[in-house]
Structure 1
Amino acid sequence: MEEATSYPPIEPSNFDLIVIGTGLPESILASAASAVGKTVLHLDPNPFYGTHYASLPLNDLISFLQSQSQSQSQTLTDGYTSSSSSIPLMTCPMYFALEVNSYFSEPNIDDNSRKFNLDLAGPRVFLCSDSMIDLILKTGINQYMEFKSVDSSFVSDAQGKLRSVPDSRSAIFKDGTLSLPEKNQLMKFFKLVQGHFGNDNDEDKISQQDLESPFVEFLSKMGLSHKLKSIILYAIALADYDQDNLEVCKDVINTKSGINRLALYHSSIGRSVLVFVFQFGPVHQLYVCNAIQEGYRFPNANGAIIYPIYGQGELPQAFCRRAAVKGCIYVLRMPIVSVLMDKDGGTYKGVKLVSGQELFSPDLIIAPSFVIPSPLAPSAAQVASSHDVSLTDARRMVARGICITKNSMKTEVANNLVFFPPKSLYPEQITSVRVLQLSSNVAACPSGIFVTYLSAMCDNEVEGKKSLNSAIKALFSVPISGNSENCATDSLHTQAKPSLLWSALYMQELTKFHGAFDSISYTPMPDEHLHYNHLLDATEKLFKEIYPNEEFFPMASGASDEHVDDNGSELDS
C-alpha cells in the first residue's frame, strides 16, 4: 500500500467529534465544540482552509470551480472491514454552468494570479452590529483579522442611474437627488422606527397589526414614495424578491422583520467603539468579553459595513486557529473515502481515510459538498447525482459572478455596494441583484485592479445569468466577441464605464441536506444573503442539537486565550 505511506497516522484514533470540511459552519462548530472541552478532529481533502467559504488566488479559484462543477459525483469505492460496514463518502457538485471569459491579456492579471484573494461565496460583508461581529469579538478571533469600511452604497433607479443610499440623518440632508418632501418623509419614518425601539410608551410603538402586515404595505401607509420604498426594501432591508408583487413573491418581508433589519443597519452606522458586557454564571455576575478591551475599535472601519482584509476566507481560518488553541487537530490534504457503520445496528461509528486508517467518534459533521448515500437507495451514484438525500428547496438557486476591471465603477470610491432592485434592469426582473466592488486596499487584488462580486436569486440558469449579465452591462463596458476596439467605442457612449477584463459566472443550487443516519449532521451551504446572520443562526442551532447541554462559546472566566502556535495542534499532511 504505497499510497498510505505518504499520509502520517493520526493519533489518537478516538475523538468526541470528527468534522469534515473547513468551511465557515464547520470551523465554527469545531471551535465551539473545542471550547466546551470536546476532543475534535478536523479533516479537509483540500490543501487550503475554508472550502466553499475560501478566498483563493485567481488560478486556484478557476481550478476549484471547475472541479466542483463536474456533471458526475465522485467517490472512492470502499468495501467491508472486519468489524463494520463501510459506506462510500461521495463528493457532490456544488456549482454548475460555469462560464469564464478573459477579454484582454492584462499583465496585472496574468502575472499576478497569487495576488488575488477571490471569495467563492461572494458578495458578502459584515454589518458592524450583526451577530457575526458579536461572535467575532466574543471569541477573540478579531486578533487574527483586520477590516476596512465599505465606503459607500448605491442603488439603481428606474433610469439606470446609481444614486447614494441615504441611510443616516446626515446622508439624507446631503443627498441632492431627494426632494424636500422626500427628505422629510424619510426622516419622519426613521424617527418612527427609532421611537418603536427606544421608547416604552405604547403610543410610540408600531401596532401589532402593522407589524404583521407586509413591509411594503406599511411603507406605503407611511406615505413614502416608490423611490424611497425601493431604497429601504432592497438596499437597507436587503429584500431578495419583488415585494410589490405579493402574489408571486417567494419571500414577503413583514413589517416586524423589515424594521428589525432597519434597526440593525442604523445601529451599525459609525459603531467604532465596540463594548459588550456578557452575563455569566448562576449569580448573574457580569464579565466583559476577554476579546474586547473597553473602547476597542476596528482600525480603518468606521462605517456601517465592513469587509475583512485578505477576503472572507480569513473568517473560517480565524475560527480554526481558535479551535487549534483549544486542542483541535487539523489535517488538510486528507481524503475521506468512507463512513463506518455498525453492521448490526446500522449506526455511525467513524470514518476511513484514504491512508486506510480508521478513526472513531460518536458524532460526525459533514460539509454539504459531501454526500453519504442511504444503503436503501438503488445505487450510490444515482443518489448523489440526483441529490436524493432528504433534500428540500431543491430548485432555489443563486447565480454568482466575479468580474475584474481596470477602473472603479465610481472614480471617487474604492470599495462600494450597488443594489439593482427588481425591474430596475429589465421589466421581467423579479429578484434584486447585489454587487460588491473591492480594491487592492483590502488585498482582494493587485494594485490598479478592481474586483466585483455579483449575486441574484433565481429559479433557473437562464434567469440567473440574465440578471447578472444585465447588471454587468449596466456597470461595465463589455467587449463584443473579445474585440477591444468595440470596448473602447462602447465606452464613449456609456460615460467611460470601466472596461471588463475578466469574468466568471456560475450557478449554485441552494439544496439543504439532512443526515440520513443518527449522529451524522450536515452543515448549511453558502446562502444567498449578503451577511452571515442566517448562516450563524443555523450553525448555532446545529450545535445545540448535537450538544443540548452545552453553551455555544461560553464566556471564559479567567485570562484570555493564549495566542495560537501555528505548529502546535495542527497536522497538515
Structure 2
Amino acid sequence: MSEDASSYPPIEPTKFDLIVVGTGLQESVIAAAASANGKTVLHLDPNSSYGSHYASLSLRDLSNFLNSHPAPHPSTSSNGHDFTPIPLAARPLYSHVEISSFVPEILDDEHSRKFNIDLCGPRVLFCADKTIDLILKSGANQYIDFKSVDSSFVCDASGRLTSVPDSRAAIFKDKSLGLREKNQLMRFFKLVQQHLGGGENERISEQDLESPFVEFLKKMRLPPKIKSIILYAIAMADYDQDNVELCEDVLKTKDGIDRLALYYSSVGRFPNALGAFLYPIYGHGELPQAFCRRAAVKGCIHVLRMPMIALLMDKCTGHYKGVRLSSGQDLFSHQLILDPSSVVPLPLISSPKDSPRENRQILGLGDEKRKVARGICITRSSLRPDTSNFLVVYPPRSLYPEQVTSIRALQIGSDLAVCPSGMFVLYFCTLCHDANQGIKSLNAAMDSLLTLPKSSHSESSTTVHSENSAEVKPTVLWKALYIQELTMDQFESINSTAMPDGNFNYNNILDAALKLFQKVYPDEELFPETVSPENPEDDNEFSVES
C-alpha cells in the first residue's frame, strides 16, 4: 500500500447490495454486470492499481507482486455490536519465484516503467470467442483497443517450427506440407464444415463425437504431423492425447470440433486482424480496467489501496453481514465476492450440513491439484526477423520424453505498447502438478528458442531451425519463472473468484464468472441489452488496429 488506509475518508454510503474485493477480470465483470442491473456495488482492492492477478505491471512492480507475502490480519473486536468480526486468512498464490536480470539497467525505475508485463500470460482472445461478444455487449469496448497476433507455429520433435495453416489458402501456400498432406487436411476440414453447417447426412456420427478426438483424427488417416498441429496448436489440448489410458484430460471429438470451429471462425472476423488471435494494446491488464470503467459509469464505487481485514457475521444467525476495512470502517452488504487471495476461516464455514469434502473445496483444497508454471523473457530481437507477435506451441514430448503437457510461448513486440521500442516480451506457460516439473518444461522451451548469456555482456550466436533457414537465437536480457496456484472457493453469500487458469483464452474464466453472477443474482441478465447514453453510436464498434 502506497498510502495509509486509515487516512482515507469514510466511504459513503455504508450499505450496498454487493461488495467485491479484488479487481481481477472475474471480479470486474461481475461488478460491471451488477451495476448494469441497478445494484449498488462497492469495489475494493488492497493494491494500488487495477487488475489483481490479471494485471499488467512494470518489471519492478511485477517482482514486488510475485514476492509479496500476505500478512495475517489482526484480531478485531465487536464493540458491543450485533455482529462478530472474523479475521480473514491470506494465502500465498505464487511460489518458486526466480527473477534474473542480465542487464541491470532494465530494472532502473525509469526504464522499468516502460514495460506492461502480463501476470497471467501467455493469453489471447480469439476473434470469434465469447469474450469479444461480452466486451461488445457490456460496452467495455469503448475503453480498450486490440491488435492482431500475426501467426502461429508448432515445434516438431526435430525442433523445427512449422506454420499453423489458418485458412484454405494457407494450406495450399504452406511449403512444409506435401500435396498428399494438403489433400488430407482439406478433406478433413471439409468434413468439419459440413458437420457444423450441413444436414443429418453430413454430420459426424454420435459415436465418433463421444470418442477421443485423437482416435477420430487417426480414423481420418491424418499423418502425425497434421494430427499434432490440430490437437495442440488449433484445439489447444494441454495433455498428451496419444496415450488415452494415461491422459489426464482426454479431448472428445465434439469438443475438438468446437475448438476447430472457434479457431477458423475467428480468422477474418475483423478486417484488420490477420489471424485468429487478438491481443490488448498495453497488455491484458486493460481488460479488467475496461470493465471497472464500465461499472463506474453505472454507479459502482471503486476504492484502491484498501484491504479488507475481517468478515462481519451476525451473532444470532451466523450469516454474513458485512466487512471491516483496514481503515477500521464497517460496511454492510447482502452479498460478498472475494478475490482468491483471501480464505474464509474454517471454523466460520463449518456447520453440520457441510461435509468435509465441501469444506475442502470451499478452501481450495479439494480436487484441483494442478498448478500453472509461467515464465517471461525479454529480448532485443525477435525470434523471427519478419514477425513481431506470434505463438509457438510445443506439443507433449516434443522437447524431451517426460514432457507430458503442451508448452505455449507467445512473443509480443513494442507495437503493442508492452515494452520499449526494439524489445520483445516472450510469455511461457504449461500445466503441472509439481513445481520442478513445470520449471523444467519452461526452461526446456526457453533453451530451445533463446540464449541465456553467461554474463551481462555476452553475445551468443547459437541457432534455431525454422522452415526456411537457420536463425540466430535472441539473447535474454531479463527472465522470470514462477508457479501459480489454481483455486476456486464458494460458500452461501460469500463467494470467491478463481485464479487465472492455464488456458490460452478467457472462455473458461468468463464461464465461471457467469455462473457466479447467476448464483448471486439468478433472476438477472449478465448485461441487459441497453444502449449507452454517453456514447450510443460506439456500443457495437470493436477496435482492431492495423
1:541 to 515, 520, 537: 515
CA shift digits 1:487-520 (9 cap, x unpaired)? 52546998420001110000012132233xx211
Change (3 A) 1:196 1:472: same
Partner of 2:312: 340
Shift of 1:563: 5.8
Change (3 A) 1:109 1:387: farther
Q: 2:80 pairs with 66, 79, 82, which one?
A: 82
Could you say which residue in structure 2 is the equivalent of 1:95?
94
Distance 1:428 1:73 in 2: 38
Match of 2:346, SS state, is: coil
Q: Which residue is 2:224 aligned to?
A: 226
Distance apart, 1:10 and its partner CA: 0.5
Provide, for residues 134-186 of structure 1, a one-character-per-residue CA deviation record: whole Å limited to 9, x for no partner: 01111121111111000010000110111110121011011001011000000
Q: Tell me, yes or no, if structure 1 residue 551 matches structure 2 residue 518.
A: no
Partner of 1:66: 67
In structure 2, distance between residues paired with 1:49 and 1:93: 19
Structure 1 SS opposite 2:222? coil
Aligned residue in 1 for 2:239? 241
SS in structure 2 at match of 1:75: coil
- C-alpha change, 1:65 and 1:492, in structure 2 (3 Å) is closer
The amino acid across from 1:49 in the alignment is Y
- Shift in Å, 1:266: 0.5
Q: 2:389 aligns with which of 401, 410, 415?
A: 415
Partners of 1:429 and 1:467 within 8 A in 2: yes
Q: Mind listing any 5+ residue stretches in structure 2 that lack a counterpart?
A: 351-359, 537-546
* 1:393 partner SS: coil
Query: Which one-letter code corresponds to 1:152 in the other structure?
Result: S
Q: Aligned letter for 2:478? A: W
2:166 touches 2:276 (CA, 8 Å); kept in 1? Answer: no
Provide the rounded CA distance (Å) in 1 between the counterparts of 2:6 and 2:204: 67
The RMSD of aligned alpha carbons is 2.1
Tell me the equivalent position of 1:43. 44
Q: Deviations over 1:9-40 (max 9, x none)?
A: 10000000000000000000000001111000
Alpha-carbon distance, 1:81 to partner: 3.3
Assess, with a 3 A threshold, how the Cα gap between structure 1 residues 416 and 109 changes in structure 2: closer, same or farther.
Answer: farther
Question: Residue in 2 aligned with 1:435?
Answer: 409
Structural mapping, 1:126-165, within 5 Å: 126-165=125-164
- Superposed CA offset, 1:195-226 (max 9, x none): 001112x1110000000000000000001000
Could you say if the C-alpha distance between residues 418 and 77 of structure 1 is closer, same or farther in structure 2, counting changes exceeding 3 Å? same
Q: Partners of 1:220 and 1:330 in 2: how far apart?
A: 53
What's the CA shift for 1:110? 6.9
Q: In the TM superposition, what whole-angstrom CA distance separates every residue of 1:461-493 from its partner, at most 9, and x where no partner exists?
A: 11100100000000001124x3644x5254699
Cα deviation code 1:40-99 (max 9, x no counterpart): 0000111100100010111111111111xx3x7632332333221111123221100000
How far off its partner does 1:104 sit? 2.8
Q: What secondary structure sits across from 1:417 in the alignment? A: strand
> Could you say which residue in structure 2 is the equivalent of 1:569?
none
Determine if the alignment matches structure 1 residue 513 to structure 2 residue 489.
yes
Instruction: Verify the 8 A CA contact 2:60 2:109 in the aligned structure 1.
Output: no
Q: C-alpha offsets along residues 289-345 of structure 1, whole Å, 9 cap, x if unaligned?
A: xxxxxxxxxxx4343111010000000000000110110001011111111000111
Per the alignment, do residues 368 and 477 of structure 1 end up closer, same or farther by CA in structure 2, a change over 3 Å counting?
Answer: same
Trace 1:74-473 onto structure 2 (pairs within 5 A).
Answer: 74-83=72-81, 84-105=83-104, 111-200=110-199, 202-272=200-270, 300-375=272-347, 389=363, 391-473=365-447
String of CA shifts for 1:346-403, please: whole Å, max 9, x gaps: 100000111111100010000111112122699xxxxxxx998253234211100010
- Are the equivalent residues in 2 in contact too, given 1:396–1:511 (CA < 8 A)? no
Contact 2:361 2:488 in 1 (8 A): no
Residues 1:343 and 1:108: Cα distance change in structure 2 (over 3 Å): closer
C-alpha distance 491-483 of structure 1, shift in aligned 2 (>3 A): farther
Q: 1:524 is paired with a residue of what secondary structure?
A: coil
Secondary structure, counterpart of 2:270 in structure 1: coil
- The partner residue of 2:477 within 481, 501, 511 is 501
Amino acid at match of 1:314: E
Q: What letter is aligned with 1:375? A: P
Which residue of the partner structure matches residue 283 of structure 1? none
Q: Encode CA deviations 1:422-470: one digit per residue, 9 max, x unaligned.
A: 0101011000001110011000100011000000011101110010000
User: How many residue pairs end up in the alignment?
Assistant: 520
